[in-house]
A and B are shown apart, each in its own frame.
Chain A
Amino acid sequence: METTEQATTATKTSVDFQDVYKAFIARGRSDDPILALADVNFRVEPGEFVSLVGPSGCGKSTCLNLLAGLSKPSSGQVMHHGAKVESINTSVGYITQDDNLLPWRSLMANVELALEFQGVAKAERQQRAQEFIELVGLGGFEQHYPHELSGGMRKRAGIIRTLIYDSDVVLMDEPFGPLDAQTRVILQAELLRLWERSRPTVLFVTHDLVEAIALSDRILVFTSGPGTIKRDYKVELPRPRDPFHIHETPGFDELYDALWTDIRTEIEKSRGSGVG
């Protein structure tokens, strides 16, 4: 599946949300459904790094769950490489907000996990895991269990254990959420470095506008619930980027202000009518 396949996938859209609606039944409470997504349409081309931003609860994470096949749209369809996603989509990689490392497996065994499921021979998967572990500077911690690692180390482990199996779309749901500001920026830089290696398609959910600008090619702004796409920004800042100095790049301020204005009106809207 080398050159010929690549040529065809390049012309094919990687991810395509077509008229997607998603209604939830909130568990435990009344049976009143809540509309999380309404009329969501967007496409992502192969190799694009796309961030989804918007007020809390606007259904950004729901988009990722739909693409991973963990839940189904109430109406409309989610396409991955031209095929409708109808069950668990094992050709994406999913990096969740919690690191979700298996607590009973060492760092090495956690990184190997996906290759183990794919039936890769032990020697080979250990070698590849070792390579990735070294790549993010976790060498020497191979036999440590997750609870013996720091928050930043666990995040790195969560990222490389997903990148190791070369899925062409990587979903990231606020992966750096609970980290302190410095660790965040360091990990953003590392993520960019890893991404540049093979340039997979990335859908990245975040609250942090600076993070979105630093990482993405495009930024989709969602409205408050029901979430729908309000605006689609292109980030034209040159690559490779340096997250430590991203705010000094020409063009950053204008983009940031535009994004913030969009989001602020959404937050005010949901305040005004939702909580009341």
Chain B
Amino acid sequence: MRDATHITGVPPTDLLSFGDQVLAEERRRFNAANRDHRRFLITARLGVFAAALILWEVASGTIIRHFFIAAPSTVSVALYRWAVSGELWYHAQFTLTATFLGYLFGSLAGILLAWPLGIMRTLYRITEPYFLVAYSVPAVAMGPVFILWFGLGMTPKVVLASYFVFFIVFINTVTGFQQVPQGLLDVTRVMGASRIDTLRTVIFPNAIPYVLAALRITLPAAMIGAVVGEFIASNRGLGYLTRAAASRYSTAGVIAGVLVLGGIVLVMSLMLRPLRHALRWQDAVEVKGGAD
């Protein structure tokens, strides 16, 4: 066997430390490239943000009329006024209440209805065409119906929000019940599982990730339902606030309203993000549907 020195040009005793050096050098280079890239991204992103903001401020009132795009400064003033006068909190309180109640009732109804339909194949096949028809009615179109039934108060908004949530939770939960791998069912049945055992140990656990995934995306959907209800007919809530600003032709008010609505939805999405990794035993599943 030949001496290692012939191959590497380094005495064999130093081979190990030489290897370490190479690795360290490589790691350093990799980290540096990574750091550079991150720095570039952060600067570029901030740059884009600042540029957009400045362009908006300058263009508003010069290139584009104030009526179309109120300057960021004007919008901030409008937001500040709402916050100080308490108007913002007053209206937000109604919207958020309708959102949470709708989320609660809608997901509860979705899960409870999905349960029998998900595990009874024939029942599902019988009712499926009706669900498909109901699903192709845009949820928004039900707004006027609920307002006609339940008046102008909180109820129609809660119902509309529930309706937005219901279908998404329902469809995903049914999928979770139905997509149980046949192998798991066969194996547990041969092991002597009763019908209840199968439900408890196989079918329900299989549906959990689907339910969680649906619950993750439907809080924003509930909020949208509530706001749509407020758009159509109401005298309070953030949707009303925005629409009222529009009818006064207050561009700053409308943009401020849109920003608040968007901000709340964004916060909700971020809040529910950890649900994605809530289950140690598996990765995220794909969700069907979504609304806004």
Q: Does chain A touch chain B in the assembled complex, meaning CB atoms less than 8 Å apart? A: yes
A34-89 interface with B by 8 A CB criterion? 68-70, 88-89
Q: Which residues does chain A contribute within 8 Å of B191, judged by CB atoms? A: 90, 93-94, 113-114, 117, 162, 165
Q: Does A249 contact B (CB under 8 A)?
A: no
- CB of B205 within 8 A of CB of A93, answer no
Distance from B182 Cβ to chain A, minimum over Cβ atoms (Å) = 9
B188 is contacted by which of A69, A113, A146, A147 (Cβ under 8 Å)?
A113
Cβ-based interface call for B192 (8 A): yes
Query: Chain A 80-107 against B: per-residue CB contact (8 Å), 1 yes, 0 no?
Result: 0000000011101110101010111100
A117 touches B186 (CB 8 A): no
Q: Considering residues A69, A90, A103, A118, which has the most beta carbons from chain B within 10 angstroms of its beta carbon?
A: A103
B113 within 8 A of A: no
Q: Is B187 an interface residue (CB 8 A)?
A: yes
If the complex has contacts A145-B280, A145-B281, A147-B282, are A100 and B194 also in contact, measured as CB distance less than 8 A?
no
The listed residue with most B CB atoms (<10 A of its CB), out of A68, A89, A117, A146, is A117
User: When the two chains form their complex, are residues B205 and A117 in contact, meaning their CB atoms are under 8 A apart?
Assistant: no
Cβ of B112 under 8 Å from chain A:
no
A117 touches which one: B181, B193, B281 (CB < 8 A)? Answer: B193
Report whether B190 and A100 are in contact in the complex, using a CB–CB cutoff of 8 Å. Answer: no
- The A-contacting residues of B in range 76-119, CB under 8 angstroms, are none
Taking CB atoms, residues of chain B closer than 8 Å to A104 are: 205-206, 208, 279, 281-282
Chain A, Cβ-Cβ closest to B193: A117
Contacts of A118 in B (CB 8 A): 192
Which residues of chain A have C-beta atoms less than 8 A from B235's C-beta?
Answer: none
Instruction: Report yes or no: A103 in contact with B186, Cβ–Cβ below 8 A.
Output: no
Closest chain B CB from A60 CB (angstroms): 16
- A117 proximity list for chain B (CB < 8 A): 188, 191-194, 197
What is the CA–CA distance of A145 and B279 in the complex, to the nearest angstrom? 11
B184 lies within 8 A of A100 (CB): yes
CA distance A133 to B23 in the complex (A): 40
Q: Is B34 an interface residue (CB 8 A)?
A: no
Give Cα distance in the complex from A108 to B53, angstroms: 58
B35 within 8 A of A: no
Total interface residues in chain A, CB < 8 Å = 26
CA distance A88 to B195 in the complex (A): 12
CB contact under 8 A between A102 and B186, given known A114-B191, A117-B191: no
Main SS class of interface, A: loop
Measured CB to CB, the closest approach of chain A to B200, in angstroms, equals: 10
Convert B150-194 into 0s and 1s, putting 1 for each residue whose CB lies closer than 8 angstroms to a CB of A.
Answer: 000000000000000000000000000000010110111111111
Please, which residues of chain B bring their CB within 8 A of the CB of A89?
190
Q: Assign chain B's interface to a size class.
A: 20 to 34
With A117-B191, A118-B192, A145-B281: A100-B183 Cβ-Cβ less than 8 Å: yes
Contact B190 A102 (CB under 8 A): no
Does B5 interact with chain A (Cβ within 8 Å)? no
Considering the chains assembled together, what is the distance between the CA atoms of A145 and B280 in angstroms?
A: 8
CA distance A245 to B222 in the complex (A): 66
CA distance A118 to B279 in the complex (A): 28
Query: Are the CB atoms of A103 and B282 closer together than 8 Å?
Result: yes
- Chain B contacts for A114, CB-based, 8 A: 191-192
Chain B minimum-CB-distance residue to A89? B190
Given contacts A98-B183, A100-B184, contact A68 B190 (CB under 8 A): yes
Question: Does B21 have its Cβ within 8 Å of any Cβ on chain A?
Answer: no
Q: A115 to chain B: closest CB distance in Å?
A: 9
B202: CB under 8 A from chain A? yes
Could you tell me the distance between the alpha carbons of A92 and B192 in the complex, rounded to whole angstroms? 10
Contact A100-B181, Cβ < 8 Å, known A113-B188, A113-B191, A147-B281? yes
Is B31 an interface residue when CB atoms closer than 8 A count as contact? no
Whole-angstrom distance from the CB of B26 to the nearest CB of chain A?
Answer: 29
Q: B281 — which chain A residues lie within 8 A by C-beta?
A: 103-105, 145-147
Which residues of A lie under 8 Å from residue B73 when comparing CB positions? Answer: none
* B201 contacts across to A, CB distance below 8 A: 102, 105, 113, 116
Knowing A100-B181, A103-B282, A104-B208 touch, does A70 contact B190 (C-beta < 8 A)?
yes
Given the complex of chains A and B, what is the CA–CA distance between A90 and B192 in angstroms?
5
How far, in whole Å, are A85 and B279 apart by their CA atoms in the complex? 40
- B200-232 vs A, Cβ < 8 Å mask (1 yes, 0 no): 011001101000000000000000000000000
Nearest CB of chain B from residue A170's CB, rounded to whole Å = 11
In chain A, residues 111-141, which have Cβ atoms closer than 8 Å to a Cβ of chain B?
113-114, 116-118
In the bound complex, what is the Cα–Cα distance between A184 and B193 (angstroms)? Answer: 30
Closest 9 pairs between A and B when the two form their complex, measured CB to CB: A90-B192, A104-B205, A145-B281, A114-B191, A100-B183, A94-B190, A100-B187, A117-B192, A104-B281
Seen from chain A, the residues whose Cβ lies within 8 Å of a Cβ on chain B are 68-70, 88-90, 92-94, 96, 98, 100, 102-105, 113-114, 116-118, 145-147, 162, 165
Jot down 13 A-B pairs with beta carbons below 8 A, ordered by A.
A88-B189, A89-B190, A90-B190, A90-B192, A94-B186, A94-B190, A103-B282, A104-B208, A113-B188, A117-B188, A117-B191, A145-B280, A145-B281
B-side residues, CB < 8 A to A, are 181, 183-184, 186-194, 197, 201-202, 205-206, 208, 279-282
